[in-house]
Amino acid sequence: MADNVGVWGHIAVNFGHWNAFVWIVMFLIISGFVLWFRSMCRMDYKRNTDQDEIYLSGNEVPSDGANISVPASASYWGFRVTMKPLYDVLERFHSGNAADYAGYFVVTTAIIGILLMF
Question: pLDDT (tens digit, 9 = 90+) per residue, 20-35?
Answer: 788 899 999 999 999 9
**pLDDT for 35:** 95
Whether 57 maps to a domain, the answer reads no
Residues constituting the chain = 118
Report yes or no on 58 lying in a domain: no
Residue 107, domain member (yes or no): yes
Note whether residue 44 is domain-resident.
no
Q: Is residue 56 part of a domain?
A: no
Per-residue model confidence (pLDDT) at position 5: 53
Low-confidence ranges of the chain (pLDDT < 50): 1
Contacts of 57 (CB under 8 A, 6+ apart): 70, 74
Q: How far is CA 56 from CA 18, 44, 93, in A?
A: 51, 22, 36
Range of the domain at 10: 2-39
How far apart are the C-alpha atoms of 118 and 115, rounded to whole Å?
Answer: 6
Confirm whether 52 is domain-assigned: no
- Residue 76: inside a domain: yes
Domain count, the chain: 2
